[in-house]
Amino acid sequence: EYKINDSSLRYNPQIKQYFELKSLLTISSAICYAAKQRQESRGAHYRTDFENSRDYAGVNSVVYKNDNGLLQSGLVKEKLGEE
């Protein structure tokens, strides 16, 4: 557990470090979760238990936190980033 000793509201390096660490841990968890959920080999992400890759043209894989704060993944058929 990370403890913040300085609770001042002015620029506080400990608070900045806390949020940076929290962000890094969240992203690291999402990357590991996505890698474990992948059931194929794709590029440098080779898995010996799933040696073949599949064609997912027009499909994007998404990792997100659900309402309970747990990581989940899913496939989205529309292109991300376009309206």
Separation of alpha carbons 79 and 83, rounded Å: 9
Query: Is the pLDDT reported for residue 42 higher than 80?
Result: no
The mean per-residue pLDDT over the stretch 5-23 comes to: 83
Tell me the average pLDDT of the chain: 77
**Helix runs in 1-83, H state only:** 13-37
Confidence of residue 20 (pLDDT cuts 50, 70, 90): very high
| Closest of 57, 62, 53, 66 to residue 80, by C-alpha | 62
pTM of the model: 0.60
